[in-house]
Amino acid sequence: MKKHQGEHPRMGATDVCPFVPVASVSMEDCVKIAEALGKRVAEEFRIPVYLYEEAAREEKRKNLANIRKGEYEGLQKKIRDPEWKPDFGEPVFNEKSGATVIGAREFLIAYNVNLNTKDSKLANMIAKNVRESGKPKRDDDGNIVKDENGEIVRIPGKLKAVRGIGWYVDEYGCAQVSINLTNYHITPLHIVFEEVRKEARKLGLGVTGSELVGLIPEEALIEAGKFYLKKQGISMGVPKREIIHTAVKSLGLSDVTKFNPEEKVIEYRINKESDRLVDYTLLEFAEELSSNSPAPGGGSVAAIAGALSAALTAMVGNLTYGKKKYQNNWDKAEEISEKAQDLKQELLSLACEDTKAFNQLMKSFRMKKETEEQKQKRREAIREATKLATEIPLTVMEKSLTIMELALKIAKIGNLNAISDAGVAGEMALASCRSASLNVKINIPSLKDEKFARDAGIKQDDILKRIESLYIKLTSIVEEKL
């Protein structure tokens, strides 16, 4: 670190290590991990550690910039100040490694907006107007104004949870407003893009597109896509790939480098599996289903039937939205389509989960049973696997019931030319529910938890009664309109 130089602020060889909840983990989990790592780094490597963001133990340490202030060069003096005693480790300067900041935070999106100019000063002006920290206040003579404590008085920028600077990128031949979105739930990606565009227009500039550095959560792109679909007067109840395509095009994410969602969306990167059921073609799925392998089987077919029902329901909603004859029901149709699209995705995931659950059950049956301890572990594994193999089709039943409710609603208000599709959606929802019910029934006798088995049976019977009642209403409407 004594020899290190560079433009980016830093205070240590490993300057900052954030833990970010992406999937199947909470912020609280990330805080615990950050604390455990901080303790270990301090003890094993004698590197002072500060906790930041959600892991911070005092307010002023939440902001990484506050902890970094003075950087490596000022650390030797800063670490001796009782106010800046490390959270882990002794307040002793580590000349070789400096200090490390560890914490838990929301996903940070590194995002650059491209301008039709090479002037980095103009880009910086825009950055100062949109970023949360804003810019220093100046008096009539252009001097920076300071308060009674000698601190610079700042004019806040427009957007919360946004940091930004302007620079010129020789490789692209344009200036960029370089932005960090520290919490895209507070300020979404598309709002940043639109605000930069507004500020650029004030300076006579244009925005040519934008660039994503690193990865992005799917949710951020979905929000952006829906924002632009709404502006275009198009239903937001379309498939995810269309929503994301709209976001990519509207934000100009392929302006300077090609944007591939499969590579840039974090969920798609971490969920890549070599043999996911939903990635099969129809032919591949049918071939696999017809083999002598017991999975995928009826449970996956039940979930896929539900997914197809949801897809048809969304289609009828989208064929209704935008048609002048049905204008009074556009909002309802769009809402139905959006809900159906979500259910479609959930059921496709359940088709995979059902196969995994069956394989897990088979694996538990194959566990060793030579010693009493092994027998006990095997019994527990079988019990839990059987529960899971029952819960998944029960969930499929619940979701197919919800789809039937949506199919009934769209049959009442939807495009008359697609009424047969609403009817088919109902048929598939009922088939999904009844099929999933068979998978619940076959597992109930094997359940050792009597209360769980009893509750599952009651729930199953209730759902079947409700969906069959809705099916009668739906078919009556469809037949009448046909």
Domain boundaries, the chain: 16-104, 109-266, 277-481
Mean pLDDT of 134-156: 87
Residue 426 vs residues 249, 312, 332, 410: alpha-carbon distances, Å: 35, 9, 18, 11
366 phi and psi, to 5 degrees?
Answer: -85, 0
pLDDT at 334: 97
Class (C level, CATH) for 16-104: alpha beta
Mean pLDDT to the nearest integer, 282-307: 91
Q: In this model, does residue 59 exceed pLDDT 60?
A: yes
pLDDT of residue 280: 86
Average pLDDT over residues 14-38: 94
Task: Report pLDDT digits (tens) over 199-223.
Answer: 999 999 999 999 999 999 999 999 9
Q: What is the mean pLDDT of residues 164-186?
A: 95
pLDDT at residue 145, as a whole number: 87
Paired tokens of 67? 């902890």
Do the two domains 16-104 and 277-481 of this chain adopt the same fold? no
- Under the banding of pLDDT at 50, 70 and 90, the label for residue 164 is very high
Q: Which residue has the higher pLDDT, 195 or 280?
A: 195
For position 261, what pLDDT does the model report? 95
Task: Note if 185 is an active site residue.
Answer: no
* pLDDT value of position 478: 97
274 has a pLDDT exceeding 60:
no
Give the pLDDT band (50/70/90) at residue 273: low
- Does 469 have pLDDT greater than 80? yes
CB under 8 Å to 439, separation ≥6 — which residues? 298, 299, 302, 354, 389, 390, 393
Phi, psi of 477 (to 5 degrees): -65, -45
Give residue 275's pLDDT band: very low, low, confident or very high (50, 70, 90): low
Residues of the chain with pLDDT > 70, as a percent, come to 99
Tell me how far apart the alpha carbons of residues 171 and 112 are, in angstroms, rounded to a whole number: 14
Report d(CA 389, CA 480) in Å as an integer.
Answer: 40
Q: Predicted confidence band at 278 (pLDDT cuts at 50, 70, 90)?
A: confident
CA angle, 261 then 234 then 280, to 5° = 40
Predicted local confidence at residue 459, as pLDDT: 96
pLDDT of residue 279: 81
The catalytic residue among 8, 81, 140, 147 is: 8
pLDDT band at 84 (very low <50, low <70, confident <90, very high): very high
| Residues constituting the chain | 482
State the pLDDT confidence band at 295, using cuts at 50, 70 and 90.
Answer: confident
The pLDDT-based confidence of 105 (bands split at 50, 70, 90) is: very high
For domain 277-481, which CATH number applies: 1.10.3720.10, 2.60.40.60, 3.30.110.30, 1.20.120.680? Answer: 1.20.120.680
Q: What percent of the chain has pLDDT over 90?
A: 83
Asked if residues 329 and 320 have their Cβ atoms less than 8 Å apart, the reply is yes
pLDDT at 270 over 90: no
For residues 55-70, average pLDDT: 94
pLDDT of 152 reads: 85
Active-site residue identified among 15, 87, 354, 421: 354
Mean pLDDT over 395-399 rounds to 97
Which residue in 441, 414, 438 sits closest to 425, CA to CA? Answer: 414
* pLDDT at 438 > cutoff 70: yes
354 is catalytic: yes
Predicted TM-score of the model (pTM):
0.80
pLDDT confidence band for 329 (50 / 70 / 90): very high
Q: What is the pLDDT of residue 179?
A: 96
Does 174 have pLDDT greater than 70?
yes
What the block records as the tokens of 28 is 């609280």
- C-alpha 251/C-alpha 387 separation (Å) is 46
Count CB atoms within 10 A of the CB of residue 63.
14
Confidence of residue 124 (pLDDT cuts 50, 70, 90): very high
Per-residue pLDDT band for 272 (boundaries 50, 70, 90) equals low
- The mean pLDDT value of the chain amounts to 94
**Domain covering 109-266 in this structure, CATH number:** 3.30.70.670
pLDDT of 7 higher than 80 = no
CA distances from 203 to 112, 223, 255 (A): 18, 28, 21
